[in-house]
Amino acid sequence: MKDSATAIISADDVKSFFQQPEVVFVDARGGNDAYDRYQSGHVSGAVFMDLETDLSKKSADAARGGRHPLPDPEAFGHLLGKVGIKPSQHLLVYDDKAGANAAARFWWMMKAARHSSIQVVDGGFAALSNAGLPILKGPAALLPPQSQYPVKSWMLPTADLEAVARAREGTDSLVLDVREHYRYIGESEPIDLVAGHIPGAQNVPYSDNLEADGKFRSPHALAAQYKALIGNRDVKKVIVHCGSGVTACHTLLAMEFAGISGANLYVGSWSEWSRNNKPIAIGQKP
């Protein structure tokens, strides 16, 4: 990408890329029925990526890495080669959650793999369908397989459990919790075992990145929002988390769109923190 503003692309602008050489659409979805949803309708030629099996490597114990731990980098590189993705390609990724879920996770992983040209479609699959792009039903598209994509390590900053424990107590650090507010205050917890939040974390729901129509706010508005939160802190001291390290990528994408790069992803997120006898806060932050 030439600049941060190209991290997100409108569905209308996507039309000019359709069927161009070296442009690949990636349909990323999560949930047990992700592939069924893909088969029920996807952009013509879109490669399928499953959050549960392709974009994470789950273990039997979510206390180690959370519910969606990152896969081994080299294994991910092997997968990319198998489905035909090359470093030279321009990737346009979408999901069926307006770009807030698996598409943002795939974007982060490809940036962490040093892929130079990838954009998330604003509004996701619904926006592409409404824009008139050809939608097909049926099994996953197959590109000619390539040699293994060169991924040796994740090249974007991440934070582990102990780094977050230290950061939450430091005045020069900032922990952002992007879950819905009712989950942050511990009103209820629909997914993980314990309700509440990391003491000291500030709540900025990922939905705050969006306008009422579900599209991303402008880079200017997003920059104002996050610069006010970060203040004089070094952005490298900012840690972003959610429930399991997926929607946190949506906020990292929004920050990139706003020209703010370098914040850390806490991959394990609340799903890991809440299972490790760490301090838990309930209610509003004082």
Residue 242 among the catalytic residues: yes
Question: Structure tokens of 160?
Answer: 């582990």
Q: Which of 34, 201, 242, 246 is catalytic?
A: 242
Active-site positions read: 242
